[in-house]
Amino acid sequence: MALVLGVDSSTQSTKVEVRNADSGVLIGSGSAPHPPVAPPCSEQDPKTWYEALLGATARAGARRPAAIAVAGQQHGLVLLGERDLPLRPAKLWNDTESAADAKWLREQLDGGAAGWAAAVGSVPVAAFTITKLSWVHRCEPDVFARIRRVLLPHDYLTFRLTNEFVTDRGDASGTGYWSPASGEWRPDVLRIVDGELDWAAALPRVLGPLESIPARDGDAIVAAGTGDNMAAALGLALEPGRVAISIGTSGTVYTVSDTPTADPSGAVAGFASACGRYLPLVCTQNATRVTDTMARLLGVDHDGLAALALSDAATAHESVTLVPYFDGERTPERPDATGLIAGLRNDLEREHLARAAFEGVVCGLLDGLDALGAAGVDTGDELGNQITLVGGGSRSPAYRQVLADLAQRPVVVPAGDEHVALGACVQAAAALHQVSPREIARQWELGSGTVVDPTGSADRAAALRARYAAARG
């Protein structure tokens, strides 16, 4: 029985799954934590990711796999120098120190935001890799002068497994210097950051969806790997017209498209998928950490907060609105923003605050869903298609019901928790068997789950979203 190993290297931890390459049956799993981070300066030593990968794999307890794929947190910047060692801690996606660089970069390309969208499918924000390169160039010129390799988090782990510098089109599309439309690096936009560095030598080779390379210490092959959102799309068997919303440390709204997206407003990132298609996506900075904070302030655990939010009393104070920009915000781009509670009155109860916390996070994500539709992406809204909910927040009955109520669409919660690691397993199996990830997903019967139907009225949902829009300004 051939096995595949899928790796999810996220902001908080590394999680791995070992599955049967033919049936997808889970054989073993393991996890290991990463050092905690907090914006605006959010950095980790890349070597700790590899140590966590080894620890998580050991805890999975299965025999050696035939194929491996690594999915990693998008956008992070890993700089290697002599002997291919990290020059500094990696800057992560939620590091907002490069907000000024994002603004500066948008002004340097002809056409501004529209020019960037046309060139690379997305408008640079502080999360994107190119802004972090600009920050290092501006703030740490001695480090920049010693750069030999520019990698993403999943690229670094693939390098540690293979001694090869490779990436994939999905993760490359989140850098701000690779074009999903042309399928090529854009050294011309990198020369805005620095005109002297040999960018062609510094960037990894982009592998195709079914390509792989040998592991350095065994008979396994290592697939191209990808970004975490692209891997989740594989694990969910997403197709055009079916939207996924992920509620974790950050929030994301995305779907698969047959055509590339170029949104000059910057709300929609025009990413590529890991399977040869495209993955238009909206990302919000604040998600479960908002409800974690509100649970702490109200003196309850996660289950207690959900119980308060779903109680009959929770909907009796409809004027309370929470804007969840606790760590700044990426969409809309407000890196220095803070949270806000509007509509406070003397009859306020804990239940009302609990409900407002979940509603605030969900309203931000539904703004993202609206942005996808405005950019011409098929979101399945006219057909009332199910919304797929994943991420740590999907385990909360409050997030499930509030999303269904405010979207006025059924919400499906797929079985299992680790959809990024599952998607990495799909990619590894596709590379091993040389069939499309879509075929692997069909064979493994992925995509179904528990369905939550909306209970509130459309009028109430519209009124609540209007209050949220007024509060956030």
Q: Tell me the two tokens of residue 179.
A: 């074009």
Q: Is 228 a residue of the active site?
A: yes
DSSP string, 240-295: TT-EEEEESSSEEEE--BSS----TTSSSEEEE-TTSSEEEEEEES-SHHHHHHHH
Tokens of 281: 């996506």
For the chain, what is the largest distance between any 2 Cα atoms, rounded to a whole number of angstroms? 67
**Given the residues 155, 228, 263, 378, the one annotated as active site:** 228
Q: State how beta strands 90-91 and 243-247 pair.
A: unpaired
Tokens of 314: 């929770």
The strand pairing partners of 184, in sequence order, are: 179
Rounded Cα–Cα distance for residues 60 and 33 (Å): 14
Burial pattern 273-297, b for ≥16 Cβ within 10 A else e, equals bbbebbbbbbbbbbbbbbbbebbee
- The residue count for the chain: 473
**Interior CA angle at 62 toward 30 and 66, to 5°?**
110
**Under 8 Å CB-to-CB from 252, ≥6 apart: which residues?**
229, 244, 245, 246, 281, 282, 283, 284, 368
Token pair listed for 63: 């025999």
Q: Which two tokens stand for residue 269?
A: 């990132």
Question: Residue 287: phi, psi to the nearest 5?
Answer: -145, -105
Whose tokens are 């040999």? That residue is: 198
Active site residues: 228
